[in-house]
Structure 1
Amino acid sequence: MQMPSNGLMVDWQPGNPIPFADYDNERDEPPEGLTAEDVQLSWWRVAASLSRDEVREKLLAIVWAHTDWSYFVYQPIADHAGSCRYPWPLIDLL
């Protein structure tokens, strides 16, 4: 999937299947009350609606607002080649 010319992170429309559905989820554990598919769909919607700079700005605001990092645990959501069920521009940004 290539970067769209409209400045958004991906050229994908809600209602279409999530690309790369055949990839493993690695060890991605969704928040309580959500499925892995819910989380992936949310990130595809973000990437299809915002530019890289807009997403970066919003993520930085969240990062700077945290003071207790003990809750966060690293879990891989992509393999070493970057293959996953999330938009690759988002993985690149993270």
Structure 2
Amino acid sequence: MNEEAQLKIDGEKGFFYIDVNGKHEAMMTFVFAGKDKIIIDHTEVNSAFNGKGFGKKMVTKAVEYAREENIKIIPLCPFAKSVFNKVPEFQDVL
């Protein structure tokens, strides 16, 4: 079972997701705010996978993406915001 977070971009929006057995079981959506920022606006995990760390994996993937692309993240989603508040190593992308 591959539980790696993946990225899909479609124009001015996109999402990070985790597939389990070929099905999206977790998704975190975002929109671009100009060329140098993304706004994370929603995180959702199938309840069958609660507590498995899927949400944090997606936030971690977003941080990796932001660092690679030299962009900042605005976490409007309460879940994403809580992860950023708990993980000091992620502060550089805010």
TM normalised by structure 2 equals 0.28
Q: Is the strand fraction higher in 1 or 2?
A: 2
Larger Rg: 1
Q: Larger relative CO (CA 8 A, sep 6+): 1 or 2?
A: 1
TM normalised by structure 1 equals 0.28
